[in-house]
Structure 1
């Protein structure tokens, strides 16, 4: 279901069943599969409200906000199996003044993905799991790409996810950037990568560009991030050698790894740590 160049449209309640199981099975079998459909998309639209909607088993993305202005998504429930491919919960791209609150997302890809050209995005009170976390990116796949700026993600809970709070960019030249991001009040339950910046993103690790990412990441704050990591490296800042991350701030972090000491890892990253920070900062 797609809306293009509409204004003042509201979607209240209801359930969309994408019936994606046959497409997922085709992809799992490596067959020549159709592209698949997004369950609900708004393109080039303004003043949109999506409230109380349930979306289940989408073939591809559940909800897409593309080139829109003034969008509120509240109280949505998104459900797909943890092994369903490319079933991102909510994808925002090229949009400004978007608010996402009170969402419960269980899916097989990013719970929320934030694409190029996204500015003034507010995300609050979101549960995620299963899924791949809340991700800015992937960015930098194209050279002439808009940046991401002024994003707040607060009061989130991640359960058994592949990632928690993630920024991911391709290892190749790009004019893209990430600037002015705040991640705060997040709880992790057995999350593989609770805090991660991956500037060598390459799913499947085949045909990777193998270059330095041109995406410039700066002014990113992590505050009050608590919980348990499923891997020993609970904080991983793998930044670009040619465009190092700058202005990373860690405040009041407590991430554990079973009965062992969790670790942090930094590559080409610069920033500060304040308050109680565990694992100890490598910035």
Structure 2
């Protein structure tokens, strides 16, 4: 009996020792410990920034824990340039809310900003941008703040966002700019279809970004891609309402980075303004779009299921009587099916100065009112079965 008792004490002691060691090696920083209150009233900005500072100072992988409840945050800035570890997880079980008064954030561009971070993972949680009052202000024609992106990662590497919900962002919901190796999955984004400039996920100057298994319903592009983006992979995304998945607008300046190696597959577009779009300004530019692959896309009453628009010049300002210099090449449309809300299912308006080349159409089956949707295009070259021919279009 004595030996058995001693053995039990030894086991308990060892378990306690190893548990303490694990906690020391992987510390958890609860935002409550830094003064946060989950009452939906208290300004928790400093508490969250202090918790970040503590996790950032840890030499071991660390976790910031946000318990259930509603947390009010003003502009919060999380700088990773001095962090001592490259594996910080932010586990959110509650809701982070912008202030009800949109003037608190004002013209700050970003609400929650991560800059120069490495190995940050966000798990779960909801972001509420409280955008409705700002949208109403803009609709009234008053002098209103520009508003802010809800969540931005800038010049950051090895980012992971999984299971996050973003609602009613003032502007863009999620931005990855100047990032490498970012994985966004199981994202849910929601804002009314009339909400202005509320892109779901915006990607610019980034490489190795993937967006998968997500549902995006918003007032602008579900996914938007700007200059300098490469090796982008989008799969199993449901879009609608919204403006579709858009590369552009490109070619605003002469010296502009291009977009290349983009894959969009197994996505659904329901009631969207566009399906898949490439858009460039009608201005001189040495930019380019190349090696883009669209495959297995379902259109459900999308207004413009497939569109290339190289004549973009709103109100004929800043670009009248000019032609786009952006070179579009190597674009494949494969197995795109469903219904168009307009008579034209495929509309390729390429540049006269730089016609589109290497356009491949394979199994495009789009209907409009139980009839095959029209194909309209200009200045495009099609590649089918290894043979290059001018793309046959309706006049």
Q: TM-score range by the shorter chain?
A: over 0.9
Q: Match for residue 229 of structure 2?
A: 118
Q: What SS class does the counterpart of residue 296 from structure 2 fall into?
A: strand
Partners of 1:224 and 1:59 in 2: how far apart?
A: 36
Q: What SS class does the counterpart of residue 123 from structure 1 fall into?
A: strand
Q: Match for residue 181 of structure 2?
A: 70
Please, which runs of 5 or more residues in structure 2 have no aligned partner?
A: 1-111, 386-390
Work out whether residues 165 and 188 of structure 2, in 8 Å CA contact, stay in contact via their aligned partners in 1. Answer: yes
1:186-229 per-residue CA deviation (whole Å, 9 max, x = no partner) reads 000000000000001234x3525121001100000000000000
Moved more, 13-22 or 24-33: 24-33
1:207 to 2:299 alignment = no
Q: Match for residue 70 of structure 2?
A: none
Work out whether residues 366 and 372 of structure 2, in 8 Å CA contact, stay in contact via their aligned partners in 1. Answer: no
Which is higher, the Rg of structure 1 or of structure 2?
2
Q: Match for residue 279 of structure 2?
A: 168
Q: What SS class does the counterpart of residue 149 from structure 2 fall into?
A: coil
**RMSD (Å), alpha carbons:** 1.3
The structure 2 residue matched to 1:198, chosen from 282, 286, 309, is: 309
Partners of 2:195 and 2:214 in 1: how far apart?
A: 19
Partners of 2:228 and 2:141 in 1: how far apart?
A: 33
- Alpha-carbon offset, residue 272 of structure 1: 2.8
Query: TM-score normalised to the size of structure 2?
Result: 0.69
Q: Match for residue 171 of structure 2?
A: 60
Moved more, 55-64 or 27-36: 27-36
The structure 2 residue matched to 1:92, chosen from 179, 191, 203, is: 203
| Matched ranges for 1:107-256 at <5 A | 107-203=218-314, 205-210=315-320, 211-256=322-367
Distance 1:15 1:281, change over 3 A: farther
Moved more, 27-36 or 213-222: 27-36
Please, which runs of 5 or more residues in structure 1 have no aligned partner?
A: 275-279
| Matched ranges for 1:5-44 at <5 A | 5-44=116-155
Work out whether residues 273 and 281 of structure 1, in 8 Å CA contact, stay in contact via their aligned partners in 2. Answer: no
1:122-142 per-residue CA deviation (whole Å, 9 max, x = no partner) reads 000000000000000111112
Distance 1:189 1:247, change over 3 A: same
Q: Match for residue 212 of structure 2?
A: 101
Q: What SS class does the counterpart of residue 23 from structure 1 fall into?
A: helix
Partners of 2:125 and 2:131 in 1: how far apart?
A: 18
- Alpha-carbon offset, residue 121 of structure 1: 0.5
1:246-265 per-residue CA deviation (whole Å, 9 max, x = no partner) reads 00000011000003442111
Q: Match for residue 268 of structure 1?
A: 379
Partners of 1:155 and 1:281 in 2: how far apart?
A: 27
Partners of 1:171 and 1:256 in 2: how far apart?
A: 30
Q: What SS class does the counterpart of residue 38 from structure 1 fall into?
A: strand
Q: What SS class does the counterpart of residue 26 from structure 1 fall into?
A: helix
Return the structure number with greater helix share: 2
Q: Match for residue 97 of structure 2?
A: none
Q: Match for residue 59 of structure 2?
A: none
Moved more, 112-121 or 20-29: 20-29
Work out whether residues 191 and 228 of structure 1, in 8 Å CA contact, stay in contact via their aligned partners in 2. Answer: yes
Query: TM-score normalised to the size of structure 1?
Result: 0.95
Partners of 1:146 and 1:173 in 2: how far apart?
A: 14
Q: What SS class does the counterpart of residue 146 from structure 2 fall into?
A: coil
